[in-house]
Structure formats: structure tokens, C-alpha cells
Amino acid sequence: MTETKRPVNSHKAYHAHVYFDEESKLVAKKLCDESGQLFGLSVGRFHEKLVGPHPCWSCQITFGARDFEKYIAWLEENRQGLTVFVHALTGDDLKDHTEFAYWLGQAVDLNLDFFKKSLVEVLHGHADFD
């Protein structure tokens, strides 16, 4: 089970990943577009496919501690039942997606193997012995 933690403003920078599917993509698109328009935030691609550790289609929004309170409150008010995965950006991908992972709405299990696999590849690539 994924532990559901509410976002807390204890980091410098964050991602919000809006999760959606075929049925909810218009609501999601509006939420992402307005994040850019109203808050001037940097909005990533609108992925109608699985990317990274995300178990749902997703769109990534980057924001900082300064915008945290207003933006999180706005997301909560406007997400219309969508799940929004919020995580810190500390440079440690695994920690950011476990210890520093927060949810608005229903939490879902992330595909954390994504990071383990990358780590194995990195280690393997740098191994001097076999």
C-alpha cells in the first residue's frame, strides 16, 4: 500500500504530476494549462502514455517553495477528483519519489523499479570486474 502524505512545504523545489486517463484528459489539460497561465509555472509535455515511474498518463509542473501554499491550495480546489502526485526535487530520485512523495487525491503505487533499474545499469556500466 502507498502511504498517503499531504504535501508539506519543506523543500526548495517540487514537481506536481497531474495523473489522468482518456476520460479525464480534458480536465487535466485545463488544470495544466491554467497552472502555466495563472501561476507562470513551467508545464511539461502532456503524456498520453506511461513515462518514468508514473503508473498513469501524466503531465509535470515544476514549482518552488515560494508558490507552494497558493499553488497546492489552487490544485486541491480545481483538480476535480484527479490524482496529483507532488514530490520534492532534491537530486535524489529515489528519495524524492518515496520519502518526499505527497498526494492530492487517491494515491497510487509508483513504478519504483524504474529507479532501481537505472541504478543497476549505472553500477553495471561502471563495474571494473565481472
- What residue ranges bind Zn ion (CB under 5 A)? 15
CB nearer Zn ion, residue 75 or residue 125? 75
Q: Name the residue nearer to Zn ion (CB basis): 11 or 15.
A: 15
CB of 125 to Zn ion, least distance (A): 24
- Are 16 and 59 contacting, i.e. CB atoms less than 8 angstroms apart? no
Q: CA geometry: angle at 22 spanning 19 and 28, to 5°? A: 40
CB of 6 to Zn ion, least distance (A): 18
CB closest to Zn ion, residue no:
15
Q: For residue 87, give the C-alpha cell.
A: 514530490
Question: Minimal distance in Å, beta carbon 60 to Zn ion?
Answer: 5
Report the Cα 34 to chain-centroid distance in Å: 17
Residue 86 DSSP symbol: E
Q: Side chain identity at 86, as an amino acid letter?
A: V
H helices present in the chain, as ranges: 25-39, 65-78, 93-96, 113-126
CB closer to Zn ion out of 95 and 129? 95
8 Å CB contact between 64 and 96: no
Q: Which is nearer to Zn ion, 24 or 85 (CB)?
A: 85
| Minimum distance, C-beta of residue 123 to Zn ion, in the bound complex (Å) | 23
Give the amino acid at 76.
Answer: E
